[in-house]
Amino acid sequence: MPYFECIDCGEEFWREDDERWKVRCYDCWRAKKEAEQAEKQWEASELRRLQEEVRKLYHTIGAHQTIIEGLRYHLTFLIFAAHPDRNSNDPRATEATKWLLEARDLLRGGTV
C-alpha cells in the first residue's frame, strides 16, 4: 500500500516503498522546514545581539581599566594633596584621604 499516514496531521499521503524516510505529508514537511528556518534566523539575530552586548561590555571594561590605571598613577599625589595637614584639618580632606587610602589598599589587592 503506497499511502501512509502523516505523523503530524494524520492525513494520508503517497510515498514509494523505498521512501521510508518520508513520514510527513508535503504540507507538514514544508511547515516543519519553515519553522526550522525561522528558528535559525532567530538564533542568528540573537547571536548578533549578544555579540554586540559583549563588544559594549569590553568597551566598558576598557574604560574602567583606564580610570583605574589613572587612579593608580596619580594616587600618591592625590593622597599628598588631600591630606588634612595640608588643608587646615578640613573634615572633607580627612574623608577624602580616608577614601584614597582605602582605594590604595583595594588597588594593592588588600581588603578594606
Domain ranges of the chain: 3-107
Question: What CA–CA distance (Å, rounded) separates 66 from 95?
Answer: 24
DSSP state of 110: -
| Mean pLDDT of all residues in 45-68 | 95
Q: What's the per-residue H, E or C state across 7-52?
A: CCCCCEEECCCCCCCCCCCHHHHHHHHHHHHHHHHHHHHHHHHHHH
Question: What CA–CA distance (Å, rounded) separates 71 from 77?
Answer: 10
pLDDT of residue 30: 97
Q: What is the pLDDT of residues 20-49, one digit of tens each?
A: 899 999 999 999 999 999 999 999 999 999
pLDDT of residue 111: 55
Quote the pTM value.
0.54
Higher pLDDT, 111 or 22: 22
Write down the residue that cell numbers 583595594 correspond to: 106
